[in-house]
Amino acid sequence: MGMIRTLRAVVRIRRRERDRVARRLRSAANVDDLRSIARRRLPAGVFDYIDGGAEDELTLDRNVRAFRDVTFRPRVLRGLGEIDTSTTLLGQPLALPLVLAPTGFTRIADPAGELAVVRAAGRAGIPFTLSTMGTRSIDECAAVAGPGARLWFQVYAWRDRSLIRGLLERAAVSGFEAICLTVDTAVLGRRERDVRRGFTLPPEIGPGTFLDGMRHPGWTWRLLRSDPIRFSSAEGLAGQDGTTAVDLAGYMNEQFDHGLSWDDVAWLRTVWDGPILIKGIQTVADAKLAVEHGVEGIILSNHGGRQLDTAPAPFDLVPAVAEAVAGRIEVICDGGIRRGSDIVKAVAAGADAAMGGRLFLYALAAAGERGVDHVLDLLRTGTERTMALVGASKVADLGPELLEPR
C-alpha cells in the first residue's frame, strides 16, 4: 500500500483524450511531426504535390539546411523583461515577424482551404497571402477575416492585363492591404515527384490516382462531400465560364507572360494604390532594382524550391540584400521556415519578417483549422523561447551579432 501511495504522489495517470484531433495534435511537437501526420492522411500524389520541389530537390533541401547550418551566439545576463515578438511590417502592427505565403490548390489539403488559414492567421495577428491560384475567392476570404485581420493578394504576370486589373479591383474593394507580384514563373518548374505520380495541373484522374484515393478513404470522402475545387478568384474573368479548377488551370497556365519586365511593375502602380511587394527576388542586383522602382518590399524566394533547382536559398541571401537595400524597403525571407528559431535567425540576419507556406499546408492536412492554430502557436512560442535564450527581449534586439559569421 505504501508503494501505491508513493506512486499516486508522484505519478499522474493521463486520461485518454476522446477528441481525435486533440490526440493527433498532442503528438505534433513541431512542423516535421505535422508533415508526418499529413503524409499518413493524404494520398501519396497529393502529399508529394505539397511536399515536393523541382528536379533533384536540391534547392528544396537547401532552403531548410541554410537555417540549420547557422548557429547562434547567445548573450546572457542581459536583464530580460517580458519577451515581445511584435513588430511592424508595411507600417502596420505584426504580432510575430511571420507572413503566411500564397499557396495554390490549398483545398487539396483540407476542404476548408484558405478560409481556415485566414481565420487562424487573424487570431495569430499575422498576414495571410491569398494566391491567384487559390481555391477560395477574394470575397470569401474577406468575409471570414476578423477585425484587424491583414490580407495580402498574390498576382502573376499574365499576358491579358485585364485579368490582373479585374483581380486587383476586387481585392481593393474587399480591403486587401498589399499585393505580391510573383516574378519567378516565366515557365513552370519541372516537379518530378508529380511526373512520377501522374499528378498534373490541370489534374488528370488516372488509375493510379484513383487507387491512391481509395487507400485514403477519409480524405476522399471529405473531398467528395465538399464543393468542387475551383480557382475561385479567377472565375468569370476574360469570359472564362469554367466552374472547375480543371477548366481554368489550363487557361491560366497559358497566360503566364515570359516578357515580364520592370515596366510591368510601373504599370501595376496605375491600377493599385497600396503597397507592392516583388516575390521571387534571388540576387542583390535585383533587390537594388526593386528599390529604384519604388516598391515597398521584396520577398526573397525561390518558390519553395519548386521552380529552378540549385537556386540560392533565401536565408543565404538575407545579409547581403539587407545591407544593399539599407532599410529603404521591407525584406521578407520566404522558404525553409520550420521553427521559431528560424524566424529569429531570419530577422537577426537582416530580414524584416519570414514567410512560409508548407508549414500551414502540413498543419491543415493534419488537423484542419485547429492544425493551423497549432502550428502558429508552435512558431510563436518557439520564437519567444529562442529570443529569451539568445538574450533578446524584443524584435529590435535581434541583429547579426547574435549569429555566428558565415
Is 104 domain-assigned?
yes
What pLDDT does residue 242 have?
43
Task: Exactly one of 216, 258, 293, 303 is catalytic; name it.
Answer: 303
Per-residue pLDDT tens over the stretch 146-200: 888 999 999 988 777 888 899 999 999 999 999 999 999 888 888 999 888 877 6
Is 12 domain-assigned?
no
d(Cα 404, Cα 69) in Å, to the nearest integer? 10
Is 63 domain-assigned?
yes
d(Cα 363, Cα 37) in Å, to the nearest integer? 9
What pLDDT does residue 151 have?
98
pTM: 0.92
**Is 303 a known active-site residue?**
yes
User: Which of 268, 330, 361, 405 has its CA nearest to residue 97?
Assistant: 330
Is 2 domain-assigned?
no
What pLDDT does residue 379 have?
98
User: Which of 20, 44, 1 has its CA nearest to residue 208?
Assistant: 44
Whichever domain contains 187, its CATH number is: 3.20.20.70
Is 292 domain-assigned?
yes
CA distances from 74 to 68, 86, 196, 371 (A): 16, 20, 45, 31
Is 16 domain-assigned?
no
Per-residue pLDDT tens over the stretch 87-135: 999 999 999 999 999 998 899 999 999 999 999 999 999 999 999 989 9
What pLDDT does residue 245 have?
55
Domain span holding position 366: 21-398
Domain count for the chain:
1
What pLDDT does residue 389 have?
98
